[in-house]
Amino acid sequence: MNTPFNICIVDDDDIYQFTMMKTLEMIESSKKLIAFYDGESALNFMLDNLHNESELPDVILLDINMPIMDGFQFMEEYVKIKPKVGKKITIYMVTSSVDDVDKERVKKISDVSDYIVKPISPGQLKEIIDKLV
């Protein structure tokens, strides 16, 4: 991999976060890993770093079902701040939901690159990252 990314995991599951971080470290795809347990914390981080592109994520792996602010609510707020974000951020909805309603709702959000059902295998994760290079 030539280009490491700032990768942000937004998910309220401790085990999933740990597993994803270890997998990302293993495939050496990130220069910085950031994790948040809810969309509000992730959004606040982005707002605090709007003018600091080196801190902002290049990739966000966003869960749908979380406390405080879920993935859909995060996306509603992200769309509002996107014009102020000085870099392209690729967002994947990564969820355990196989509900067709969720899938259809995600398809309507143009800023979401793809809908991925958990768990993500290391090979699948590497493939996702390789697409961004």
Residue 123 has pLDDT above 90, yes or no: no
Q: What is the pLDDT of residue 31?
A: 76
Residue 28 has pLDDT above 50, yes or no: yes
Burial 100-123, CB ≥16 within 10 A → b, else e: eebeebbeebeebbebbebebeee
> Are the C-beta atoms of residues 20 and 7 closer than 8 Å to each other?
no
Question: What's the rounded mean pLDDT across residues 37-55?
Answer: 94
Give per-residue pLDDT as tens, 2-27: 466 899 999 999 999 999 988 888 87
Q: Distance of CA 69 to CAs 4, 20, 64, 118, Å? A: 28, 21, 9, 20
Q: pLDDT band for 32, please (50, 70, 90 cuts).
A: confident
Q: What is the pLDDT of residue 30?
A: 65
Could you tell me the maximum CA-CA distance found in the chain, to the nearest angstrom? 37
Listed by start position, the domains of the chain span: 5-132
Comparing C-alpha atoms, which of 53, 5, 7, 61 is closest to residue 33? 7
Comparing C-alpha atoms, which of 6, 4, 12 is closest to residue 74? 12
Q: What is the pLDDT of residue 1?
A: 39
Give per-residue pLDDT as tens, 63-122: 999 999 999 999 999 999 999 998 999 999 998 878 888 888 898 998 998 888 888 888
> Are the C-beta atoms of residues 30 and 4 closer than 8 Å to each other?
yes
Q: What is the pLDDT of residue 5?
A: 83
Question: What's the rounded mean pLDDT across residues 34-62?
Answer: 94
For residues 64 and 74, give the distance between their C-alpha atoms in angstroms, rounded to a whole number: 9
- Backbone torsions φ then ψ of 129, nearest 5 degrees: -65, -40
At the second CATH level, the architecture of 5-132 is 3-Layer(aba) Sandwich (3.40)
Q: How far is CA 24 from the centre of its chain?
A: 13
